[in-house]
Amino acid sequence: MPELRYLDALNRAHHEEMARDERVVVLGEDVGAKGGVFGVTAGLLERFGEERVIDTPLAESAIVGCAIGMAINGLVPIAEIQFADFLHPAFDQIVSEAARMRYRSNGAFGCPLVIRVPYGGAHGTALYHSQCVEAFYAHVPGLKVVAPYTPYDAKGMLKAAVRDPDPVLFLEHKRLYRIVRGEVPEEDYEVPIGPAVVRRPGKHLSVFTYGWMLHETLRAAEMVQPEGIEVEVVEIRTLRPLDKLTILRSVAKTNKALVVYEDNRFCGYGAEIAALIAEEAFEELDGPVMRLGGPDVPAVPFARSLEEAWMPDADRIAQAIRRLARY
């Protein structure tokens, strides 16, 4: 089984899905000749032609709006937005149109659309290129939101997203593209949208996380193991719909819960997980449900030292784990 980088796994999924189904098209800024801002769509233009691989103007609302029109007229578009920060001009198209299409048409129309979005802080990209936007969109019924971590999941979940009859927001943390590698089957497979996965079993407390924070949390779990703290790490790879059963089962096993996410802590996505545990697993808890998120400042700073100070990392996660373990 070949070992691929995260971005190569996504590229394979594009090639295979476009070869499997001639209705699949790709559109976005520089997705053609350039192969996408990070190279995820490399080779698609040469193989499938400009009628199926469409370079668009710098107009995110138009990209998503055109993709919605394609979807309700029989195509299966994959729209690439270069950075999550640029997704906001398309907010109305996503929330008011794509997500509500099936509901507003009483089931007459679906909207089989995938919107791929790089997100998160990395490499000094700072303001306008580092935002975490998941909390805005996971709030919206009718929209699925995923954030896979492994190359295996990236390929399998993108295939599942393309084959889904309704819109899927596909979040790709930028640090994953060239750092994370893993075995990826050459044959066709899907990773279902929905289930979370236990990445590391433990018995003293549970940490729920996703995206690049999974990478840092697994490092933190290694750091505290010599201290006798065995951490269960659960990856929430689908943010909506949320796999409540896996979360509650883990809390029932360890009796303590920490939620780690990169976005601003206040009203971030982790608050939803914390609320779920407080409401449905209160009697299982031996300590408070704790959250570790980014600071409440407007953006990830540009200076490398400040970016590192902003981002939650393994050291800070380990500190939070020790604090919770003392209860």
Residue 88 among the catalytic residues: no
The answer to whether 24 touches 161, Cβ cutoff 8 Å, is no
- Residue 203 and residue 152: Cα distance in Å, rounded? 27
Burial class from Cβ neighbours inside 10 Å (0-12, 13-18, 19+) for residue 231 reads buried
- Residue 277 and residue 257: Cα distance in Å, rounded? 8
The DSSP output letter for 258 is E
- Between helix 212-224 and helix 314-325 the angle, nearest 10°, is 60
Active-site pick, 14, 88, 129, 139: 129
Strands 238-240 and 231-235: unpaired
Whether the bond between 241 and the residue before it is cis, its omega within 30 degrees of 0, is yes
Beta-carbon count within 10 A of 190 CB: 16
Burial class from Cβ neighbours inside 10 Å (0-12, 13-18, 19+) for residue 50 reads exposed
Known catalytic residues are 129
